[in-house]
Amino acid sequence: MYYIALIQILFSFLLPLNESVNWAQLAGKKEQNVVEPYDPDDGLSPKRPMWSARWGHSTVVFNRTSMSRNDLTAEENSNRSMHLITTLFLLGGDDYLQYKDEFSNGGFRNDVWYSEVQLRSATTWSVRHQFLTMHEKQMGLKSDVVTSNMKWFCMNEGKKSPPFWPVEHDKVGNPIAHDDWISCQDYFGEKRGRECFDKTSIEYMYKTENMWSPRRGHASAVLNGNLYVIGGRSRERVIVDHERFVGAASNRIDLNTGHRTIRESTVLKNDVWMSKDAGKTWTLVTPGCRNQQEDILIETEYMPGKTRYSTTSNGFEKFSSVKCQDSTDCYGDEVCKSLDGRSENKVCVCPLFGIREHHSLDVQHRYVKRDDGTIYSEDYLYLTGGFTQVRHEFCGNLACGNRGSYRMALDDVWVSNDGANWVQIRRATAGSPTAFKPRGGHSTNLISANSFQEEDVDRLFVFGGESVGPNNPKSEFLADMWYMELFSEPCCVRHKSCHLSSHPLTPNDLDICISKRREWIRMDLKSEIYGRAGHVSIHEPPSSMNAFKDYIYIIGGKNSTSIHSDVWSLDLTSGISWHSDISSHTSKNGDEQEFSRINSDHDYNLYYDMESNLTSLVTLRLPSTKSMDETFAVPLVFKIIEDRDIAILEELGIKTFSDLINADQRTILHLRGYDNLPGKKEKMHVKNICYVKQLIEKFNSKCFVGEMRFKTPDISDLCQDGIDPDSCILSTWDGCRPINDYTQIDIPFIHGSSVSVPAVKLDHTNDLQNMHCKYTPGPRYMASGQYADGKVLILGGQGNNPNKLYRDVWYRDDSHPTTIIKKKPKSKSSSATFVFESNEDGALQFEYKIFDQTERLDVTPWITCLKDELIDVSWLDSKKGGPGSGWYTMYVRSVDPSGNREQYFSTNTNVYTWLYIEPLPWRKIIGVSFSTIFMIFIITFELKRRKRKAALEKYHLRRLKRKFKLNSDFDEIYPKESRHHRSSVNRDTFNHAKASNGDGRKAFFLNNEKDEKTTGGGKDNWEKGHFQGTKKHKSI
């Protein structure tokens, strides 16, 4: 794998950055056709655990070793972040849904979930081992083959105060407020009663269960290894103030002060909770305040020397903050303070940030090396802006509504190094048209100093948000970007106390070690990004994967008109403008060919959806091996629709894929050159309009999951029996699709000629396989996001309407995989097996294509295969139906879980040309050889048999002649009567053999031979007898 990593690094530096990206879905209901995500609602048993669909939640990454350190270079930080297990936490949120039948479900949550994220590890994705037929391989990717292994675990299911005291308590039956439930927390110190120390008491048991109340719009962070949750809009049981039951009447109603009214209500919070065990148990750091901070009180309700919203001389008579004598009269951290120096006008003032929601929270990690070589580290927590509620109206001496009647955006900045003691860096002001405006629903990113920055300072960036206030009730959605410069060394360096333990920050530290300038500095950026709030902002630190650049990403959000789904990125090291992930294809005039050539710096992964512009529709041609001499080659890109035809389409209002696929029959026929549109004197002819329309229809079927948004009805299904076929076709035909048994059709609004019906279906295989589906998380508001394990993640959020809540996890993938042909056949041989390998562990699918160099034709389309699969292309053999021996080129590209494919081709990596020689037909050769040997053996045996037979017959003939001669001699020797007797016997035998065999002479001699053998006769005996007889005859 080392050589693959080296190639990947070479790609990141030598090749241009990608112009478009795609998203991979890790979890949730399946919304793409590439992989199978972790779906808790897939019906499997046991049910997969996962948090509910929600918005307004928060997420954190719990892994200190993955955080960038400002005392290290970008390269060192990049090396530290490799191969780490990152734990992603999700906390709280709102999963309330209102249904049409007025039934509602869900609400505020305070549960804690976590998942281990290893996106650069092979454990994140796996392959379902299943057999893919050749048809499935040629049809493209199987989305259920690669599955996500993401798992979610519930660390804390969430708890809240019970409605009443239990029967074991002396206050049984009385309602319990949230403040009663947490009254035994260590924060309250000496204010706690004795029951808080009795391990058998109800109060002590509640202390072990205490945690932050269910909420949304809060913020969370990891500070010094501990998990923090701060502020937000909470739903808890609170004591209702008496004044809330008093209307604007002349006679005030006095309530029974001994009776408490407790109701479950939504309230803004600024409390701080901490967990040392990753969210399992929680400790109250501070309950926060109920009253506002000093600058907000002064800005909204009181200005020294005059009353702001009252006609009386004393503005404090109508001041919303609680009057007090000392701090014991105030709640939580509030202090009793006079804002005008008059002791009789003391009110409770919050010494830390006031109650709020949709604020931002960032952690700065400061490091310094001590004299003894050890590292001293300290974290600083920065809280910025948000929405609060302030009092705006007074009705004489009576209150109108509650204290927080109007929403107000804030622009203050606070810092803390322990979560309990906060120092205000910037005061909350009303702002001005030319200055930094107050905002909520914004985003911030704290970026550490690195080797690319000239100044050794960290920067706190803020983008966008919604600006609103009592004096400006109309919301303004912002798209500006500002930053504040912060010191990068711990405060102990300036105090020369790094050998000691950390101390809480004080206001004296502000100019010494917190911020060089306590002002926002505006960045002059050129972009077309829309103003928005409730978006996700994520920082990608420098690493070897992004050529050591700093990126900030903006995802989604909403403005006054819509919820966005776009993604923007900003390169902080060199960029001066935002860059959209979704970019249109640019073109220039090219050669006089069927297609116009696209410029050479084009992105070669063609991502489309049904809202893509028709001008971006292009076709690809793979590069030749001659262009890959020790370099990386790119495909040739050509336009499918000419500029002239684009102008015709735009004149008719057809600009996007969906416009064309939804065009009516009359418009399509007009684009085919038939004059039928009213008011159009000139015929408009787009020569390949039917090819383009059918291509987009097939692409739509390829990309969408479930029921398609743009489905063209099938004529054969619509025109059933009993319906006039001509009228049915006229009403359902789209103007392009072939119709069985029809070559022409009469259209009523076409005068003078019939309309030709395309005869055959067009082949879109090549273009369709190079059109890749563009997948994004979609429009969402108040989602959450993190940078984890080298990827930008987004979780949950609200869709286009309040009842569209997401329960999913996506990550942005702008890296394209690199393929190595691990095993390949030798040239000039009959071997034909390949094995492919990718630099991405999640790229478990591959696509390969074989090109015939001799015929200059594609032998195959792109065929899908799996990792570690042995690819056998022996079917090239002509004996198996293939094209036979010759020069072939194998192109291969890997496919990652987002659908990204290879952009570049090289003979060093993913292209291989070899001379394939058909193997000898050994089976036939062996079979023929055995058959030949067998036939030779049979023939030889038969020849020998016949030869023996012929020799035997020849021998018998010779014997027959000899016997005939001997018989003649016998007749001469023996007497006449003996001869007569013997000849009659022999003559009968001869006649009988002739009758049965047809050859009396032959049978006769054979019988004689048998007789001679059985009687001991034969030549020798006969000659012996003949000699004896002759001898006897002579003697007589």
How far is the CA of 105 from the CAs of 98, 263, 711, 770, 781, in angstroms? Answer: 7, 20, 34, 44, 20
What value does the mean pLDDT take over residues 320-337? Answer: 85
Cβ-based neighbour number of residue 590 at 10 Å: 14
319-328, 354-363, 375-384, 884-893: which has the minimum mean pLDDT?
A: 319-328
- Reported as a single tens digit per residue, the pLDDT across 470-499 is 878 789 999 999 999 999 888 888 888 887
- Reported as a single tens digit per residue, the pLDDT across 675-722 is 755 555 566 788 899 999 999 999 998 888 865 444 455 555 556 655
Highest mean pLDDT among 121-125, 386-390, 901-905, 921-925: 386-390
Per-residue pLDDT, 111? 96
Residue 418: pLDDT over 50: yes
Per-residue pLDDT, 380? 94
Residue 603: pLDDT over 90: no
Percentage of the chain surpassing pLDDT 90? 37
Helix or strand or coil: residue 885?
coil
The helix (H) or strand (E) run that includes residue 234 is: strand 226-239
> What is the reported pTM?
0.82
What value does the mean pLDDT take over residues 511-518? Answer: 85
Per-residue pLDDT, 527? 77
As a dihedral over the C-alpha atoms of residue 1003, residue 1008, residue 1014, residue 1018, rounded to 10 degrees, the angle is -130
In sequence order, what are the residues at sequence separation of 6 or more whose Cβ sits closer than 8 angstroms to the Cβ of residue 686?
A: 641, 645, 648, 649, 671, 672, 692
Cβ atoms of 676 and 750 within 8 Å: the answer is yes
Which band of pLDDT confidence, cut at 50, 70 and 90, is reported for residue 1026? very low
Q: Quick one: angle between helices 976-997 and 1000-1014, nearest 10?
A: 120
Q: Strand 833-838 vs strand 871-872: parallel, antiparallel, or unpaired?
A: antiparallel
Per-residue pLDDT, 128? 76
47-61, 117-131, 791-805: which has the minimum mean pLDDT?
A: 117-131
Residue 77: pLDDT over 70: no
What value does the mean pLDDT take over residues 336-358? Answer: 87
Nearest-5° angle of CA 520, CA 522, CA 523? Answer: 140
Residue 169: pLDDT over 80: yes
Q: Strand 458-469 vs strand 579-580: parallel, antiparallel, or unpaired?
A: unpaired
* Burial group, residue 328, by CB count within 10 angstroms (0-12, 13-18, 19+): exposed
Residue 653 dihedral angles phi and psi, to the nearest 5°:
80, 20
Residue 601: pLDDT over 50: no
Q: Strand 845-852 vs strand 886-895: parallel, antiparallel, or unpaired?
A: antiparallel
Cβ-based neighbour number of residue 261 at 10 Å: 14
Per-residue pLDDT, 273? 97
Between residues 875 and 543, the one the model is more confident about = 875
What residues form DSSP beta bridges with 419? none
Rounded distance between C-alpha atoms, residue 573 and residue 40, angstroms: 41
Residue 582: pLDDT over 80: no
Per-residue pLDDT, 933? 92
Which one-letter amino acid corresponds to residue 681?
Answer: K
Between residues 768 and 239, the one the model is more confident about = 768
Per-residue pLDDT, 605? 61
Which band of pLDDT confidence, cut at 50, 70 and 90, is reported for residue 919? confident
- Reported as a single tens digit per residue, the pLDDT across 762-793 is 888 899 999 999 999 999 999 999 998 889 99
130-134, 567-571, 963-967: which has the minimum mean pLDDT?
A: 130-134
Per-residue pLDDT, 108? 94
Closest CA to 73 of 370, 432, 450: 450
Per-residue pLDDT, 260? 60
Rounded distance between C-alpha atoms, residue 522 and residue 432, angstroms: 14
Residue 147: pLDDT over 80: yes
Structure tokens at 481: 């970007």
138-142, 150-154, 166-170: which has the minimum mean pLDDT?
A: 138-142
Structure tokens at 374: 């050890």
Residue 642: pLDDT over 80: yes
Strand extents, DSSP E, 330-471: 335-338, 346-349, 360-369, 375-390, 406-416, 423-426, 443-447, 458-469
Residue 598: pLDDT over 60: no
What value does the mean pLDDT take over residues 7-18? Answer: 44
Which one-letter amino acid corresponds to residue 755?
Answer: V
For 605-643, the DSSP string reads SEEE-TTSBGGG-EEEEPPPGGGGSSS-B--EEEESS-H
175-189, 233-247, 291-305, 756-770: which has the minimum mean pLDDT?
A: 233-247
Rounded distance between C-alpha atoms, residue 337 and residue 349, angstroms: 6
- Reported as a single tens digit per residue, the pLDDT across 958-980 is 888 887 877 776 666 655 555 45
Closest CA to 615 of 661, 662, 665, 649: 649
Residue 24: pLDDT over 90: yes
Strand extents, DSSP E, 828-961: 833-838, 845-852, 857-858, 863-866, 871-872, 886-895, 911-916
What value does the mean pLDDT take over residues 47-70? Answer: 79
pLDDT, averaged across the chain: 79
Q: Which residue has the tokens 């789904």?
A: 565
Which band of pLDDT confidence, cut at 50, 70 and 90, is reported for residue 989? low
Residue 1007: pLDDT over 70: no
Strand extents, DSSP E, 855-964: 857-858, 863-866, 871-872, 886-895, 911-916
Cβ atoms of 40 and 47 within 8 Å: the answer is yes
- Reported as a single tens digit per residue, the pLDDT across 840-857 is 888 999 999 999 999 999
How far is the CA of 19 from the CAs of 11, 192, 568, 632, 903, in angstroms? Answer: 15, 61, 12, 18, 11
As a dihedral over the C-alpha atoms of residue 902, residue 907, residue 910, residue 915, rounded to 10 degrees, the angle is 140
- Reported as a single tens digit per residue, the pLDDT across 286-310 is 999 988 898 888 877 654 433 333 3
Residue 539: pLDDT over 90: yes
Residue 516: pLDDT over 70: yes
Asked whether the CA dihedral 260, 264, 266, 267 is positive or negative, the reply is positive
Residue 360: pLDDT over 50: yes
Closest CA to 148 of 619, 811, 640, 797: 811
Residue 339: pLDDT over 50: yes
How far is the CA of 836 from the CAs of 375, 631, 817, 839, in angstroms? Answer: 45, 20, 12, 10
Which band of pLDDT confidence, cut at 50, 70 and 90, is reported for residue 586? very low
How far is the CA of 158 from the CAs of 212, 265, 278, in angstroms? Answer: 9, 18, 14
